[in-house]
Amino acid sequence: MNAIFGRRFKSENSVSNFTNVQQLREIMPALLEGYLTEAEMPNSFLLLSPPPEHNSSFFELDLEHARKALESKDEARFLQAAIDADLSFPFAVKSFESIIGMQISESKTPKLYVLMRRVMTDAGLSTYAAKNYYKRERPFMVNNQKTCTPDQENILYKVGSFPSGHAAVGWAWSLVLIKLFPEKEKEILKRGHDFGESRIVCNVHWYSDVKMGRTMGQATVECLWGNSDFLADWDSVKKEMQEILDSNLE
């Protein structure tokens, strides 16, 4: 196993530092501004313990998850991981639509659509303090095996692996959606969880990256509940949802 995964820790490649939305638009041009100011944003470097040391049982767990993902023959799950990797809108939230029974789009649910995009920005950006500091190598950079998104690998080389921004986003979305659709809580949380797991399946994140990504997703949502702009939009979203439900009853 050591021969496959090596024992490197920090990336030897050129890793970019991202600290704000303008810089992140280098890799995600359509990104909207989030709700949280820099002062309100949860700091992943301060909140999270460092990535596992390579002689630790925690890193052995990372290796085990990575090995299982590489050995898996589940082509459908690999395809789903590729689908979950796409954070462009409206595509990014499609996998939640069948669960909530509603299309999330600029035309059908414009208030929810914008809120989901802005939450994505905040949850993703919350991970970058740790990403920028640790510059952790991703599994595919170490094991030299394929990912589910070969077209994204040039970008992924530039961004540290710990913690996972996708996992933060998927979990943040699920925590928001269960407030709107509490009767679907179990299914929504499973989708948010699996959204993060897809990064392991894709061979672009370690298990600990994903686990700590969810921690940052939750921390972000907790901060959002104290943000006046988010709360104002939240009230608009609830009204929008009620209008849709009422129209369905007519």
Closest CA to 1 of 49, 82, 59, 77: 59
Closest CA to 142 of 250, 11, 249, 242: 11
Task: Establish whether 166 is a catalytic residue.
Answer: yes
Of 28-32, 78-82, 84-88, 144-148, the range with the lowest mean pLDDT is 28-32
Cβ neighbour number for residue 154 with a 10 Å cutoff? 9
Q: What is the pLDDT of residues 58-75, one digit of tens each?
A: 999 999 999 999 999 999
pLDDT at 13 over 70: no
- Using an 8 Å Cβ cutoff, are 218 and 71 in contact? no
Closest CA to 63 of 215, 212, 209: 209
pLDDT at 15 over 70: no
b/e code 118-138 from CB counts within 10 Å (16+ = b)? bbbbbbbbbbbbbbbebbbbb
Provide the whole-model pTM: 0.91
Active-site position among 191, 209, 214, 233 = 209
Q: What's the mean pLDDT in 15-24?
A: 76
- Residue entry with tokens 């939230």: 93
pLDDT at 175 over 70: yes
Task: Establish whether 199 is a catalytic residue.
Answer: yes
Active-site position among 166, 191, 214, 233 = 166
Phi, psi of 195 (to 5 degrees): -60, -40
Three-state DSSP at 136 gives strand
CA distances from 138 to 37, 51, 108, 144, 246 (A): 29, 12, 38, 10, 47
Report the share of the chain in percent with pLDDT over 70: 93
Considering only CA atoms, give the Rg of the chain: 18
Task: Establish whether 209 is a catalytic residue.
Answer: yes
Active-site position among 65, 191, 205, 214 = 205
Active-site position among 117, 138, 199, 214 = 199
Q: What's the mean pLDDT in 178-189?
A: 97
pLDDT band of 1, cuts 50, 70, 90: very low
Q: What is the pLDDT of residues 106-138, one digit of tens each?
A: 999 999 999 999 999 999 999 999 999 999 999
Task: Establish whether 205 is a catalytic residue.
Answer: yes
What pLDDT score does 168 carry? 98
